[in-house]
Chains A and B, each alone.
Chain A
């Protein structure tokens, strides 16, 4: 056996070559796709694309991208977190109802605490009881939904209040750009740094790539998974705070509709649900793409039902196409 790999004199089909390029640089073609969609939008309604519109697009993509971060991180290990939607909702609802009682800062602290608690339960189930992450996070999500409804009965009379800082972050603008970026830019920097330049990030890739090899290297996977799901819960709770400031009307299902799109954004962004491969940069672009598609459907003046159905269909089609292309070798 020779150590030298002969250069394969193969003829690579254009589609395969495109697939390889997508796999190595998932973000570049995605950005191209995003601008193509924006171009189509401009054709549909000339004049719609403006700086203000772009600010709006980014504003509503931020919470989606934050939840997608939780999906990317868990998917790296071959997991998923389906409780992020309800955790964000809990966090928002708890903040809104507790602010009149204990003040904004303690209320937000309690809200983040709910994220930690759900994360700990998820972590226990996935890391120690070895329940499949899909089932575990779906289960805790349902439990949290129930708890939230019980909690609502106790606080129904206290009224709600939204901390000023959240309202500023959620609705304010600086230089035509949404203030949410003041939260999101440090957040995105942290996630990118975590994935690339820390031991923890490396272990996430390792667990998804080959758990047995990680064990051989001395990694106790339960510790990593426990920390991971707590982090995921924290990200979801933080997203809930921002989303509360954005929507300003706490409800029992506030952020739930963001859950599946957050998974789709991660997958469109080039993260493998089987673990070992993923990119948060891609997920951010994925979130923007989903928002543009949503705008297009709204412009087409479809009835709500048809719009939702079509949105699901497009998510499936884009994801299937992307996976097909990027898995080709």
Chain B
């Protein structure tokens, strides 16, 4: 076998565990010269771990990664780079306080090649002495990509590079990637967007539960097959509790959002949320759901659009404004919500003291009663007395929810409240969400785990690429339907 017959990149039997968690069990990927291969997988399939191993940022427990037939294991990102694999990520790896030229020097990038690719990518007029921090995100991604291309990599790995890029730049990126393949190089393309994958890629490699479950040639109508492969045996209709059909509520909504745009990723979101309703939000990572929740909670100011609470237009400049309007957020990252070295009680009672009118003596009896009620209702395990950081993850999450139960709930914004917590706690959270709604609260519920939608919600909106593209009733919300919707495959026929 001559060297040129070897695949450009060949990864076989790659496995990686983090403690008891087996992130990868048997990941495979081959890439031949002249090929563009899509790497696909649902949330938690092990995609990001696999990418880290391919690029040398992580060492596999088992298996091997060969680049250009060289059996040497990829030991570090620098080694991977030397052997010809260069990655470009959604978050540019540039140093903000240096100018473009200095960032090039850091990794010995040939300036002429860089200039050439900038021009190809419609950024020919970019100044090399511009500071990275002054450039818009789209330009940063282009700089990062041009820098990678200038190193003339054999394998280019593009990870969600086109998310939130304007259409004309997406076209340029796809053209350049295709050119790479035509020149006898290879491209690994990671994206949630079938439209781009069918335009660009030759094959797709699908990961599920840490293993490569199949490789398919890209052809028209391949989407259904890929979605099926991503879901696999996870469709277990028998186990799922039947969702109850609830009529769409009528009357004035508690919360109405119209054509909301929030930088950088949310382009156009509209929704109506009624008292007594749990509205799910389905979205792949980074489709604009973070921006939606941040804007509703007063953390970010929308670029345009309208938020109405009980029929009155609202402009939130601070979370305090949102709380006053009854909108309370449980954020995705617990670390952002907790005072780690303070007590459970103080954590739950904090909103009581927020307004200057409440800076005086603490109302101990009132506070104790409200906190005890919240702890009781959530069954928070407070055996670990004292600092909140001594609680388990599930109990910490309950504290962040309990804070708003004690405060009083009108409109609850739950952003992925079950991420990274144990199954028992998860099962306590769904009925609680339901109960809150039955008592008149309105709940907006984003989850990264699709099977939670029929368990907790009445219906769900789907956000794709910054827009609300679909609305699914809980009774129809099987995982396949939701997955297809999350990948933007169902069009906007059902959108409200």
Residues of A within 8 A of B (CB): 1-5, 197-200, 202-203, 205-206, 209-210, 212-220, 223, 227, 276-277
Contacts and interface: CB of A to CB of B under 8 A. Distances in A.
Given A202-B346, A210-B339, A213-B338, A3 B394 contact: yes
Interface string B327-361: 00101000111111110001001111111101111
Given A198-B360, A203-B353, A219-B350, A209 B342 contact: yes
Contact of B350 (A1, A212, A217): A217
Given A5-B392, A206-B350, A220-B320, A213 B339 contact: yes
Give the residue among A210, A216, A276, A277 with the most B Cβ atoms within 10 A.
Answer: A216
B228 interface: no
A293 B110 CA distance: 63
A159 B41 CA distance: 84
A215 B394 CA distance: 23
Nearest to B390: A5
Given A202-B353, A218-B351, A3 B337 contact: no
Interface of B: 297, 299, 318-320, 323-324, 329, 331, 335-342, 346, 349-356, 358-362, 364, 381, 383-384, 390, 392-395, 403, 421-422, 424-425
Give me the 8 closest cross-chain CB pairs, A-B, nearest first. Answer: A199-B353, A1-B422, A200-B359, A218-B354, A209-B339, A218-B320, A218-B323, A217-B350
A96 to B, nearest CB: 34
Contacts of B361: 197-199
Contact of B337 (A213, A220, A227): A213
Give the residue among B339, B349, B392, B422 with the most A Cβ atoms within 10 A.
Answer: B339
B133 to A, nearest CB: 17
A205 B299 CA distance: 22
Contact of A206 (B323, B339, B355): B339
Given A210-B340, A218-B354, 19 more contacts: A1-B393, A197-B362, A197-B364, A199-B359, A202-B346, A202-B350, A205-B342, A206-B342, A210-B335, A213-B337, A213-B338, A214-B350, A215-B299, A215-B318, A215-B319, A216-B319, A217-B350, A217-B354, A220-B354
A98 to B, nearest CB: 32
Contacts of B355: 218
A198 B349 CA distance: 12
Contacts of A1: 392-394, 421-422
A4 B341 CA distance: 19
B417 to A, nearest CB: 14
Nearest to A24: B386
Contacts, number: 103
Contact of B336 (A2, A213, A219): A213
28 contacts: A1-B392, A1-B421, A1-B422, A3-B392, A3-B394, A3-B424, A199-B358, A199-B360, A199-B361, A199-B362, A202-B350, A203-B354, A205-B339, A209-B340, A209-B341, A213-B337, A213-B338, A213-B350, A215-B299, A216-B319, A216-B336, A216-B337, A217-B350, A218-B355, A220-B318, A223-B356, A276-B342, A277-B341
Contacts of A277: 341
Contacts of B359: 198-200, 203, 227
A209 B342 CA distance: 8
A3 B331 contact: no
Contacts of B350: 202, 206, 213-214, 217, 219
Contacts of A227: 356, 359
Given A198-B359, A216-B336, A277-B341, A3 B319 contact: no
A197 to B, nearest CB: 6
A3 to B, nearest CB: 5
A3 B393 CA distance: 9
A128 to B, nearest CB: 14
Contacts of A218: 319-320, 323-324, 351, 354-355
A85 B97 CA distance: 37
Contacts of A203: 353-354, 359
A203 B361 CA distance: 12
B59 to A, nearest CB: 26
A319 B414 CA distance: 44
A276 B361 CA distance: 20
Nearest to A202: B353
Give the residue among A4, A215, A223 with the most B Cβ atoms within 10 A.
Answer: A215
Nearest to B351: A217
A198 B297 CA distance: 27
B397 to A, nearest CB: 11
Contacts of A200: 353, 359-360
Contacts of A212: 336
Contacts of A215: 299, 318-319
A210 B339 CA distance: 6
B427 to A, nearest CB: 13
A147 B137 CA distance: 47
Contacts of B390: 5
A231 B383 CA distance: 38
Contacts of B384: 5
B371 to A, nearest CB: 13
A130 to B, nearest CB: 15
Given A1-B393, A1-B422, A5-B392, A219 B354 contact: yes
Given A216-B319, A216-B329, A218-B351, A202 B362 contact: yes
A219 B339 contact: no
Nearest to A209: B339
